A and B are shown apart, each in its own frame.
Chain A
Amino acid sequence: GQQVMQIPQYQHVQEGEDFTTYCNSSTTLSNIQWYKQRPGGHPVFLIQLVKSGEVKKQKRLTFQFGEAKKNSSLHITATQTTDVGTYFCAGRGSSNTGKLIFGQGTTLQVKP
Chain B
Amino acid sequence: DGGITQSPKYLFRKEGQNVTLSCEQNLNHDAMYWYRQDPGQGLRLIYYSQIVNDFQKGDIAEGYSVSREKKESFPLTVTSAQKNPTAFYLCASSENSRQSTDTQYFGPGTRLTVL
Give complex CA distance A45, B106 in Å: 9
| A42 and B50 within 8 A (CB) | no
The reply to whether the CB of A43 lies closer than 8 angstroms to some CB of chain B is yes
| Chain B min CB distance to A83 (Å) | 19
The 8 Å CB contact of A42, one of B42, B48, B106, is B106
| A33 and B103 within 8 A (CB) | yes
Interface residues on chain A, size class: 20 to 34
Given contacts A9-B40, A103-B42, A105-B42, contact A98 B105 (CB under 8 A): no
Q: Is the interface of B mostly helix, strand, loop or mixed?
A: loop
- Among B13-21, B65-73, B78-86, B93-101, the stretch that binds chain A is B93-101
| A43 and B106 within 8 A (CB) | yes
Contact with B along A75-112 (1 / 0, CB 8 A): 00000000000001010100010111011110100000
